[in-house]
Structure 1
Amino acid sequence: MVPTPDGHTLAVRRGDPRRRTLTLTTLDVSALRNRFAGQVIAPGDTDYDSARGLFYGGTDTRPAVIVRPTDPTEVAGVIALARETGLELAVRCGGHNPVGLSSVDDGIVLDLRHLRAIAIDVDERTVWAQTGLTAGDVTKAVAEHGLAVGFGDTGTVGIGGITTGGGVGFLSRRHGLTIDNVLAAEVVTADGQILQVDAGSHPDLFWAVRGGGGNFGVVTRFKYRLHELPGVVGGMLMLPATPDVVHGFITEAAAAPDELSVIVNVMPAPPMPFVPADLHGTMVVFGLVCYSGPADEAEKVLAPIRALAEPIADMVRPIAYHEMFMGDADGDYHPTATARTLFADRLDHALITQVLERLETAPAPMRVTQFRPLGGAISRVADDATAYSHRGRPFMVNVASFLDGPGTRAEREQWVRDTSALIANGEPGAYVNFLAEDGTERAREAYPGGTWERLTQIKRQYDPGNLFRRNVNIPPAG
């Protein structure tokens, strides 16, 4: 990308460099600012570097232009711009994709952050929310009425990205995935149509955007079902990481009532103020606990987990649900890691022991294996009801190793692959929202069997030219 001396006209490479078909496209940024009422940001602008920044480190993409539309009509206009110029299009909500798919070199970033309207119907227990909002934004807004919808476990993720990928989080065992609470959506398609979709209108597209990622259009707002939730008993519970403790934590949580969801992170103890200095760097269970049932029942449900070992720290208490989103205020945190997501049908004591041995001897100072018991309401939905088709899998596991620079990537990736291979059992599978650099090769694991075939047919109908390809891509059938 080469800015001209006046800083307003950009000469941009486009095409497929692998086929040596690069051509030159000129973008008149001044004309774009007249074309769109929303913000247009280009190289040379004072806010360009902050606007192109993403949550995760390790990527340094330089878009030709970033456009922040003000309404769905302008979203359609940005899509039309991509068609006219042939420049690659990336769609950004919260910017949390681990490999930077929400930005693009020499292309167009459609940044939804200015689409922030929210309309709560307390009597109907629904909310229409535009996809420039984050999970934290929506959670706090509906909490004022004692209501909730489950997203994930991080408040800064955009609701568009987490919802289109499925939405596994703290309320999933009780109320299902985020997509199980979607009643309708507004979608701007590759040809610029603005469609209202639900079970009775464009039902195939409605099915596909619930789990199929951003392959089928730009969702500009969702209508969610809300649930009464005055508060939860939740927070962080840190225990020493022994095979008995880790296996017991996972087993007890999986057998608990649906109201309990946990995330069991096994990792070196961070140097937090409440962690004794002699434990820094030792392996601990950094557990995130959320009990969404009556507060007076939480103690009984959590007792078997607390009894596994003397806690290093126990911060589980009655809190507002949005307080489960920990550590969202630090905008300077940009971790760089290599990771792999998978499902497992079995996590027995012997396997946990082997995983702990690998964690103890791993090459990276910071590494983690995360266990998420699933089941509950997730498993009571048919595999073919949405594009998320892993309903019966009892456990999700994520393995990550943080990098100390590009020179450490190869050894850290190998450790992640080997550890994941040790854990994997049952049919291959992947949660699309957690796929990283392996997204292309594992897309069929995210969408197995008939799910993949149906998605490719819907892709052919709504995006035959594969305009929306900066994602875990599902190509059009044929």
Structure 2
Amino acid sequence: MTTTAETGSLSVEDLDPELYGQIIKPGDAEYDGARALYAGGIDHRPAVIIRPADAAQVSRIVTLARETGLELSVRSGGHSGVGHSVSDGGICLDLAAMKALDIDVEGRTAWVQTGMTAGEYAAATGEHGLVTGFGDTGTVGVGGITLGGGVGYLVRKHGLTVDDLLAAEIVTADGKILQVDEDNHPDLFWAIRGGGGNFGVATRFKFRLHELAGIHGGFLILPATPEAIVAFVAEAEAAPEELSTIANIMPAPPMPFLAEELHGTPVIFAMICYSGPDEDAERVLAPFRAITPLADMVEPMPYSGMYPPEEEEMHPIAASANMFIDYVDLAVAENIVRRIESSTALMAATQLRVLGGAMARVPADATAFAHRQSRIMVNLAAIYADPAEADRHAAWVADFAASLKQSDDGVYVNFLLDEGEERIRAAYPGGAYERLAEIKAKYDPANLFRLNQNIPPATG
């Protein structure tokens, strides 16, 4: 291998696969597929994509990036909304080949490499009647979602993904392979539970597993009147912790089981996951069904059924915003419906996730994710096809977000876009940002891991 640190160059042709893993270069048949991201409109072209098989190869890639000065990106599932998963002109460390999973059924734990997706993990652990909660999308890599916190279908029952993280294997900027947990490098263990990819490459996680033979899950489609939206949120807040919901207020898609006159009209497309006793399911779900569903697809299923197959060619271009709010009353609901109806996007949506439960019982300073008392998480999105329309839809999202603002200034880092330092700080309130900056200075003083929602190392 030939490298020149002063110019930040390297001879890709000289990289040895036995040392680094699979080498994918511009012009290779796999290159375009390997650099593609879930989000559309991003066309990053890395100098090289390297797929390691283990932590030792990850360490060599990290050292390569440090010595050449080339920008380093780390890709788990490729779901970064701003393209952080793939460096434009640098080195992309792609964890796609690292999917080993070791399940301890009796001990209720699992070690997993961080290139495995949430859907793959759920299917494998589900064969044993066991589960760890992730997010709402099966193709998300467990590495990325965990490092940001992990808000998903079991958030009220078992908390965040990081609340089930027991240990991790991390390659730091100096190439060292560290085993971290509550007793070993506890500062780093605190930081990676919500602090994102700022501190190293997570190569393996040890998760707690919960017994869960099956769920009642699927979707309800309800009319999106303001009254129905208020009722849905109130019932989601009052429901047992075994129930988590995601309510998407959006124009009805042209689904064959919906009457044609409903297509394009505002509906609540609600994802439901009830993980409690089967005998209580009908009682728990009854208040939602009383809102008069237009379609009811909630049924008994394995937990992995919440992660249906996705279209491989789906790469949406979207303007979006994330925030937390305290309540949804009639005025808020009327505003949501009015704004959705005013959008000129191909698809506009407001997503409401009622939080609380197990997530809220963890002290705010126990992990880098500090939004433990936030009540409702909101995602706003406008999906469009023509890049020339970007400013228009971004303005719609910004105005919409401003109109919804209440007392909670926070933002969930996994849904944060390229929004500047102030918004990154908002992801880490109550002194968490300053604490993370100190830990960053200890483990990555030169800010090698900067292609993320970056927290620069503290100085002085």
2:130 equivalent among 138, 142, 147: 147
Matched-pair contact (CA < 8 Å) for 1:162–1:433: yes
Rounded Cα–Cα distance in structure 1 between residues aligned with 2:2 and 2:46 = 14
Report Cα offsets for 1:426-459 as digits up to 9, x if no partner. Answer: 1310000011132544100101131011100000
Shift in Å, 1:33: 2.9
Residue of structure 2 equivalent to 1:60? 43
Rounded Cα–Cα distance in structure 2 between residues aligned with 1:304 and 1:196 = 47
Residue of structure 1 equivalent to 2:307? 325
1:160 equivalent among 120, 128, 143: 143
Rounded Cα–Cα distance in structure 2 between residues aligned with 1:191 and 1:475 = 17
**Does 2:111 correspond to 1:133?**
no
Matched-pair contact (CA < 8 Å) for 2:73–2:87: yes
Residue of structure 2 equivalent to 1:433? 414
Rounded Cα–Cα distance in structure 2 between residues aligned with 1:48 and 1:410 = 31
Report Cα offsets for 1:182-201 as digits up to 9, x if no partner. Answer: 00000000000100000000
Shift in Å, 1:37: 4.9
Shift in Å, 1:269: 0.6
2:214 equivalent among 202, 206, 231: 231
Matched-pair contact (CA < 8 Å) for 1:10–1:64: no
Rounded Cα–Cα distance in structure 2 between residues aligned with 1:152 and 1:384 = 22
Residue of structure 1 equivalent to 2:227? 244
Residue of structure 1 equivalent to 2:172? 189
Question: Compared with structure 1, are the counterparts of its residues 10 and 467 closer, same or farther at alpha carbon in structure 2 (3 Å cutoff)?
Answer: closer
Report Cα offsets for 1:113-165 as digits up to 9, x if no partner. Answer: 11111110011100000001000111111111100000001110000000000
Rounded Cα–Cα distance in structure 2 between residues aligned with 1:26 and 1:397 = 43
RMSD, aligned α-carbons: 1.5
Report Cα offsets for 1:340-382 as digits up to 9, x if no partner. Answer: 0000112211111111111111222310000000000000000
Matched-pair contact (CA < 8 Å) for 2:324–2:411: yes
Equivalent residue letter for 1:195: L
**Does 2:361 correspond to 1:367?**
no
Gaps of 5+ in 1: 1-7, 15-22
Give secondary structure in 1 for the equivalent of 2:146.
Answer: helix
Matched-pair contact (CA < 8 Å) for 1:41–1:47: yes
Rounded Cα–Cα distance in structure 1 between residues aligned with 2:182 and 2:13 = 42
Rounded Cα–Cα distance in structure 2 between residues aligned with 1:247 and 1:360 = 18
1:413 equivalent among 390, 394, 404: 394
Residue of structure 1 equivalent to 2:298? 316
Rounded Cα–Cα distance in structure 2 between residues aligned with 1:113 and 1:337 = 25
Give secondary structure in 1 for the equivalent of 2:197.
Answer: coil
Give secondary structure in 2 for the equivalent of 1:263.
Answer: strand
Shift in Å, 1:295: 1.6
Equivalent residue letter for 2:294: I
Rounded Cα–Cα distance in structure 2 between residues aligned with 1:348 and 1:475 = 39
Give secondary structure in 2 for the equivalent of 1:459.
Answer: helix
**Does 2:290 correspond to 1:304?**
no
Equivalent residue letter for 1:360: E
Following TM superposition, the consecutive aligned residue runs of length 4 or more in structure 1 with deviations greater than 4 angstroms are 8-11
Matched-pair contact (CA < 8 Å) for 1:10–1:29: no
Equivalent residue letter for 1:408: E
Give secondary structure in 1 for the equivalent of 2:322.
Answer: strand
Report Cα offsets for 1:257-310 as digits up to 9, x if no partner. Answer: 00000000000011122222111111110000000001221110111111112x
Rounded Cα–Cα distance in structure 2 between residues aligned with 1:150 and 1:67 = 29
Give secondary structure in 2 for the equivalent of 1:476.
Answer: coil
**Does 2:2 correspond to 1:39?**
no
Residue of structure 2 equivalent to 1:97? 80
Shift in Å, 1:25: 3.9
Shift in Å, 1:35: 5.8
How is 1:384-403 mapped onto 2 (pairs within 5 angstroms)?
384-403=365-384
Rounded Cα–Cα distance in structure 2 between residues aligned with 1:399 and 1:230 = 34
Equivalent residue letter for 1:243: P
Question: Compared with structure 1, are the counterparts of its residues 375 and 464 closer, same or farther at alpha carbon in structure 2 (3 Å cutoff)?
Answer: same
Rounded Cα–Cα distance in structure 2 between residues aligned with 1:431 and 1:26 = 36
Question: Compared with structure 1, are the counterparts of its residues 10 and 85 closer, same or farther at alpha carbon in structure 2 (3 Å cutoff)?
Answer: closer
Rounded Cα–Cα distance in structure 1 between residues aligned with 2:152 and 2:27 = 39
Question: Compared with structure 1, are the counterparts of its residues 103 and 112 closer, same or farther at alpha carbon in structure 2 (3 Å cutoff)?
Answer: same
Question: Compared with structure 1, are the counterparts of its residues 112 and 260 closer, same or farther at alpha carbon in structure 2 (3 Å cutoff)?
Answer: same
Give secondary structure in 2 for the equivalent of 1:302.
Answer: helix
Residue of structure 1 equivalent to 2:269? 286
113-122 or 431-440, which moves further after superposition? 431-440
Rounded Cα–Cα distance in structure 2 between residues aligned with 1:329 and 1:248 = 30
Equivalent residue letter for 1:431: Y
429-438 or 173-182, which moves further after superposition? 429-438
Equivalent residue letter for 1:397: V
